[in-house]
Structure 1
Amino acid sequence: MTKTPRHTPLRANTLVTLAAGTLLAPLLAALPAHADTGPTAENLAWTMSRAVTGDGAWRHLRAISKATTDNAGHRDSGSAGYDKSAEYVTRVLTKAGYKVQRQEFTFRDYRIESETGSVLAPSARKLHPVIARFSRSTPQGGLTAQLSGLSGKKTGCGPQDYAGTDVRGKIVLVDVGDCFITQKQMVAAQAGATAMLMNVNSPNPELNLRYRMVPPEDARIPTATLSRAETEQLRADAAAGPVRLTVDLRGTEKTTKTYNLLADTPTGRAENTVVMGAHLDSVDTTPGMNDNAAAAAMLLESAVQLRPYAGHLKNRVRFAWWAGEEKALSGSQYYVDQLTTEQRRQTALYLNLEMIGSPNFARQVYNGRTDTGPGPAGSERIHELVSGHFAEQGLPTVGLNLDGRSDHAPFVSAGIPAGGVNAGSDTVKSPQWAELFGGTAGQMLDPCYHQSCDTIDNVNKTIFDQNGRAMAWAMGRFAVDTSDINGAGTAAE
């Protein structure tokens, strides 16, 4: 799940067929039907929710885990770990009878060259800064300066937070929150700071996260994050007297080439396509099993289980494994950008699976609204149906905005109805949520978010299964009927 919800311009326009499989033999099961009109949406929905299980998807998760750990321990876009995982997805889909397409693209990326730091005074020790992507660089060998706090609010989002404090030529220390990191460093630069360090301020004192300058052109000064533990120690030192630091933060822009994987059901109306997707990539600091291999594995199992029922589909289902989600949603944004006006109109809706196995989970269903108002028409109905399905199982849910942090965002911006599930990332669980879902209040929904501990053992099998079944139910339902979402694809047609 990305930390940066912003569109980055992309290049290239290649759609390559990787493999073509043969159609499966006879259907494995028959569905109840209304005369000669085929199965009802409800029939296929419930059939899929029984067929798609956490146990079934776990074998795919194990395979992606092995492909990841055998190849540098991550699936960053353009890496061997991503390629080997994509090869596995392609093999399984081909065996199931799908034709798999590889949609290649390039995007603007950032190569990290140095991210080190140390305290020189009052006592020497190492720091562990994480440079923001597209940050300005320090000189080679780093820069040395005095540390400064703020006189106003610690988040440093406006000039008023610097009133009465001279930060000229100093390294300023701020907190996460209230505004984007890009704005923070612009304000710090205007006040004369030579670099900025930002406290991630997580309940886990050792956790650190990599942020991103959006847009990159607004980068002004070298910027990095620190863990809460290191921040608190720096502030304790500063309370006693001057603190002198050196930081070496350097990176350069590059272009990365990668690809999405797409697979369509061979039946169903192409002019009313249901798209269901999850990102396959991870950040470069983690195996990324919950973020987002679990969702990619469940999507694969959903495709496999739907394939024998191809003859029952009224609407085409397109399965998508996105690259570059962790790099400004690059893969899904590229996909949407390549759609013609007619193809956008023919996209009935988008279903998104994101971090579906978080260990300290909340059962979150995207609620059909953005951070600024209603989402595309039909989005709230998707929320009603998915949350209603959970309710039928006696499973409470909470709503989650269609924000800019996952692959639904480009679809929403294009006016396409969207929904899905998300068990949570860096949100801290409240006591109310702990009472509703269990788990630990005061801790992140996924304490291993973007950390090396996001291994297969980090995936909660219970919510993994529940989210997978719910999305399989939605997939089966919309494969037959989307009439209450977009006015098309009725079961009676």
Structure 2
Amino acid sequence: MTHHSRWLRTTALLGGAALLAATAAQAPATADPDDANNTDRNNNSSRKLRAAVTPEHVMERIEALSDIAAAHDGNRASGTPGFAASRDYVVDTLEAAGYSPVVQEFDFPYFAQVTPSTFERVTPEATTYVEDTDFGLMDYSGSGDVTATVQSVDLNLGDLSGSTSGCEAEDFAGFTAGNIALIRRGGCTFGVKVLNAEAAGATGVIIMNTGTDRATDAFSGTLGGPDVTVPAVGTSFAIGQSLDVAGTSVHLATSTESEIRPTWNITADTNRGNDANVVMAGAHLDSVTDGAGMNDNASGSATLLEVAVQMKKVKPRNTVRFAWWGAEEAGLLGSTHYVADLAENDPEALDSVAAYLNFDMIGSPNYGLFVLDGDNSRFPPPDAAEGPEGSGAIEALFHGYFDSQGLVSEEAAFTGRSDYGPFIEAGIPSGGLFTGHEAVKTEAQAEAWGGTVGEEFDPCYHAACDGVGNVSVEAIDHNSDAMAHVIITLAGSTRGVN
């Protein structure tokens, strides 16, 4: 992303938001650490709350979540003991601070790869394929270890535009039970193809990519849920084409866990405030199964927890509801469940949510200071989701705070890849912060924020190396202050938003 000029952002400030940002500029961002340690005081202003929410305190909470992961197979993924322990840590901390947290249980489709997968051609010429280069394991693949003949299923290789291979049960007429099905991508979901193959007696499934423009592209995808019991992998068009030869056999081995498991959301309301005008602030608590998830997303969930603790004496005009979501990494399932449950069972409570603030990955090691583009000025639809009316005012509050501190901030698109998605679909004004993941930092961004040009904002995104050392304390410092400022501001008034 390129630098976005400051005057364009500041002219977007609405009404009282500009005054609030200007007021923040007059207050120091830090205070005596001993004073900040006193959680008994009433941190009822931006200045006081920012002074209380120190990066040292946040890092202590991140380290606590790291210790939990270390004690539970190195991760805190939903559906695992590590997530249950993370839930208990958040609940215990909230209760000690005087909150009455609500734990919402729901079921979700859990999936994890237990060991690396094997895919190799046995005949006519032995070839070993490399996982994540030549092939990918399909999410919700079953487990198995099978060597068998490859049987092609309606590949239609003469049509390079696509195929409906495996989409109909009739495609498997004449299929020999015990063989491994070779299916081409396209026409229906991967799950439909693999279930049809399994019903026909396939002991494994290989899904090849489609079209010569993707000839060398291996891929993985999702089967949609834990309904498949046989190994299933995705591979390139070129490898698939090479397997479409009489007498070909392969060895396919996968080891997975795929089943329905319970997980939880946690919410906690301030003890005071207007319940008809609720400001929600949320972060997902789960990690991926491959690592502890310290930037993604202990950074957001730990900072949010520290803000909640430091607000325990605040008596806001509007209710503030803090939320820690489960199963975000499985597809925003926790926040989706929460919004859908309110829509079905308590639509009045859903209508009372005046704004939603999202904090997902706010400590990237090669960080940027990104604010969700609520007014779609940088990322308009259809390239991004449309921000509900009022989202631009939330964006302006964040930008205004960073401006007041002499910090450059930039827009991030509403991509739908985090827990604000269900809220904007429900028409709720939304915003939030983000410090970047797979994209690489430009020269202009490095000039604004420091860091390394040409390197990813988070090289450990969704990887085992996302530990405490992968979190930038400087990014936590900047973003925790911005979080505190906007949360306490909206707790006082949402007039600029709605």
Aligned to 2:493: 481
Give me the CA root mean square deviation: 4.3
Aligned amino acid, residue 134 of structure 1:
Y
Whether the 8 Å CA contact 1:143–1:248 is kept in 2: the answer is: no
Q: 1:388 to 1:415 in 2, by over 3 A?
A: same
Which of 415, 419, 438 is the aligned partner of 1:407?
419
The Cα of 1:80 is off from its aligned counterpart by 1.1
Whether the 8 Å CA contact 1:273–1:317 is kept in 2: the answer is: yes
Which of 398, 422, 428 is the aligned partner of 2:434?
422
Distance (whole Å) between structure 2 residues aligned to residue 87 and residue 74 of structure 1: 15
Q: What is the DSSP-based 3-state SS (H/G/I as helix, E as strand, rest coil) of the residue aligned with 1:55?
A: helix
Whether the 8 Å CA contact 1:181–1:212 is kept in 2: the answer is: no
Q: 1:245 to 1:388 in 2, by over 3 A?
A: farther
Q: What is the DSSP-based 3-state SS (H/G/I as helix, E as strand, rest coil) of the residue aligned with 1:307?
A: coil
Q: Does 1:457 align with 2:469?
A: yes
The Cα of 1:134 is off from its aligned counterpart by 3.2
Aligned amino acid, residue 104 of structure 1:
E
Whether the 8 Å CA contact 1:355–1:422 is kept in 2: the answer is: yes
Aligned to 1:268: 273
Deviations along 1:234-254, whole A, 9 cap, x unmatched? 99x99xxxx996433465752
Aligned amino acid, residue 258 of structure 1:
T
Q: Percent identity?
A: 33
Q: 1:54 to 1:99 in 2, by over 3 A?
A: same
Which of 196, 199, 222 is the aligned partner of 1:212?
222
Deviations along 1:288-311, whole A, 9 cap, x unmatched? 111111111101100011112x23
Distance (whole Å) between structure 2 residues aligned to residue 366 and residue 217 of structure 1: 36
Whether the 8 Å CA contact 2:388–2:428 is kept in 1: the answer is: yes
The Cα of 1:436 is off from its aligned counterpart by 3.3
Which of 311, 323, 327 is the aligned partner of 2:326?
323
Aligned to 2:28: none
Q: 1:218 to 1:373 in 2, by over 3 A?
A: farther
Aligned to 1:166: none
Q: Does 1:280 align with 2:285?
A: yes
Q: Give me the TM-score of the superposition, normalised by structure 1.
A: 0.72
Q: Does 1:338 align with 2:341?
A: yes
Please list every run of 5 or more consecutive structure 2 residues that lacks an aligned counterpart in the other structure.
Answer: 1-37, 166-179, 198-203, 210-217
* Aligned residue pairs, count: 413
Aligned to 1:77: 78
Aligned to 2:97: 96
Q: 1:426 to 1:183 in 2, by over 3 A?
A: farther
Which of 129, 133, 137 is the aligned partner of 1:131?
137
Whether the 8 Å CA contact 2:109–2:225 is kept in 1: the answer is: no
Question: Equivalences for 1:34-49 in 2 at 5 Å?
Answer: 44-49=45-50
Q: 1:246 to 1:427 in 2, by over 3 A?
A: farther
Aligned to 1:28: 41
Q: Which has the larger radius of gyration?
A: 2
The Cα of 1:127 is off from its aligned counterpart by 2.9
Q: Does 1:441 align with 2:453?
A: yes
Distance (whole Å) between structure 2 residues aligned to residue 195 and residue 346 of structure 1: 49
Whether the 8 Å CA contact 1:182–1:218 is kept in 2: the answer is: no
The Cα of 1:58 is off from its aligned counterpart by 1.0
Q: Give me the TM-score of the superposition, normalised by structure 2.
A: 0.71
The Cα of 1:27 is off from its aligned counterpart by 5.8
The Cα of 1:126 is off from its aligned counterpart by 6.5
Question: Equivalences for 1:369-380 in 2 at 5 Å?
Answer: 369=376, 371-380=383-392
Distance (whole Å) between structure 1 residues aligned to residue 55 and residue 275 of structure 2: 29
Distance (whole Å) between structure 2 residues aligned to residue 427 and residue 209 of structure 1: 20
Distance (whole Å) between structure 2 residues aligned to residue 466 and residue 256 of structure 1: 37
Distance (whole Å) between structure 1 residues aligned to residue 50 and residue 275 of structure 2: 24
